[in-house]
């Protein structure tokens, strides 16, 4: 069974690592890794391949940055020849980035079945480019691998059959469980003056990258003001995405002495920071999941989430972008009023095995592709 696996951005690398590892356990699977080059620099791409033990991609499309339309079109053009040459049995895509939807569209036009890992997640906010990518990818996919029960409901409501939907758990948590012990040896704490791995000092962690937050000067200014206030009580470590760095520089914003602006860090360093933070502030979906699995309080700097289980069962709170809400939530956590979450169903480190088992079973029964009902 030949499976072309497509990645393009940081979250994809984390999700594909346990899947590639699981595929290589089976002699009947030939996994091929295609990197679109959507994220291509040292901090956002190369270091993740090294730290996650992902082999060099079989194909690197070297697309690079550009507008959503340009990037999606360029990936679509470049991956078509790869699919024609390889003739895979399945194209597997993860997450909701431009690489995901472009590769899926190229495959379906060629009659190649598409497997979408992390299917069915919905924010119900179509102003988010990722929401459009999620909806379109799911519409094109034959195999829909979901992380939470709400995703199953979303897909059924959109007309997908139960035989296409597979409730398997969360591959992001597979990677977290595998690499967390190694993250304990990261020197990032000592480098940043946050203490050693055994006895870190209290700090908060922040990430920002969504256009709705960083491309609006007013919104970005409000978020930075919130951080200034929080930094009066606790140091804030802020690994800055290159896009966000440019927007901050354009604002000429004042930065509190306790806000540590640092370049993006590798996966193991980020795991160390995330697992030891007093709380995390973010607009990232994946970090909402990781903090839930770690039991670390998370303040989501958005008005919605496509991962509602992190709020319903986990440690996540939706606080939006108004300074008053953010600061109030942070102060409650610092006063030890933190919510105690629990780990969602099937976030147990075995999602990759379940996905590969489904694909192998389907390959042995190709005439009955949609015979497997969603797990409960």
Distance from C-alpha of 215 to C-alpha of 217, rounded to nearest angstrom: 6
Phi, psi (deg, nearest 5) at residue 210: -70, 135
Catalytic residue among 209, 241, 256, 331: 209
Distance from C-alpha of 180 to C-alpha of 194, rounded to nearest angstrom: 18
* 3-class secondary-structure state, position 114: strand
DSSP assignment letter at 253: -
CB 169 within 8 A of CB 356: no
- 35 carries an active-site annotation: no
Place of tokens 């079109």: 73
Structure tokens at 289: 């999941």
* 3-class secondary-structure state, position 339: coil
Of 144, 151, 141, the C-alpha closest to 166 is 144
CB 3 within 8 A of CB 88: yes
* Residues 6 or more apart whose Cβ sits within 8 Å of residue 198: none
- Catalytic residues, by residue number, are 209
């Amino acid at each position: 069974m030949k499976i072309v696996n497509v990645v393009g951005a940081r979250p994809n690398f984390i999700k594909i690592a346990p899947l590639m590892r699981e595929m290589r356990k089976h002699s009947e699977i030939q996994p091929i890794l295609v990197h679109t080059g959507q994220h291509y620099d040292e901090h956002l791409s190369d270091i993740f391949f090294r730290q996650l033990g992902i082999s060099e991609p079989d194909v690197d499309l070297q697309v690079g940055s550009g507008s959503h339309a340009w990037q999606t079109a360029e990936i679509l053009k470049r991956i078509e020849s790869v699919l024609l040459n390889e003739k895979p049995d399945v194209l597997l895509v993860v997450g909701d980035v431009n690489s995901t939807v472009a590769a899926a569209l190229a495959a379906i036009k060629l009659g190649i079945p598409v497997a979408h890992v992390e299917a069915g997640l919905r924010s119900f906010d179509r102003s988010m480019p990722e929401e459009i990518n999620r909806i379109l990818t799911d519409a094109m996919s034959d195999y829909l691998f979901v992380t939470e029960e709400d995703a199953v409901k979303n897909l059924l409501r959109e007309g997908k059959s139960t035989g296409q939907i597979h409730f398997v758990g969360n591959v992001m948590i597979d990677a977290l469980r595998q690499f967390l012990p190694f993250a304990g040896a990261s020197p990032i704490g000592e480098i940043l003056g946050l203490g050693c791995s055994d006895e870190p000092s209290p700090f908060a962690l922040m990430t920002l990258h969504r256009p709705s937050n960083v491309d609006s000067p007013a919104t970005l200014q409000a978020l930075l003001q919130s951080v200034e206030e929080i930094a009066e009580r606790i140091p804030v470590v802020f690994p800055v995405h290159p896009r966000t760095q440019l927007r901050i520089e354009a604002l000429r914003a004042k930065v509190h002495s306790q806000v540590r602006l640092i370049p993006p860090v590798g996966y193991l360093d980020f795991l160390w920071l995330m697992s030891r933070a007093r709380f995390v502030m973010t607009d990232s979906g994946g970090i909402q999941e990781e903090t839930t699995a770690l039991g670390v309080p998370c303040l989501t700097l958005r008005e919605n989430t496509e991962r509602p289980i992190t709020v319903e069962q986990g440690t996540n709170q939706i606080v939006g972008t108004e300074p008053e809400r953010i600061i109030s939530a942070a102060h409650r956590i610092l006063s030890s009023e933190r919510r105690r979450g629990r780990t969602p169903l099937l976030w147990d480190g075995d999602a990759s095995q379940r996905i590969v088992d489904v694909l192998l079973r389907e390959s042995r029964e190709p005439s009955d592709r949609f015979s497997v009902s969603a797990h409960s």
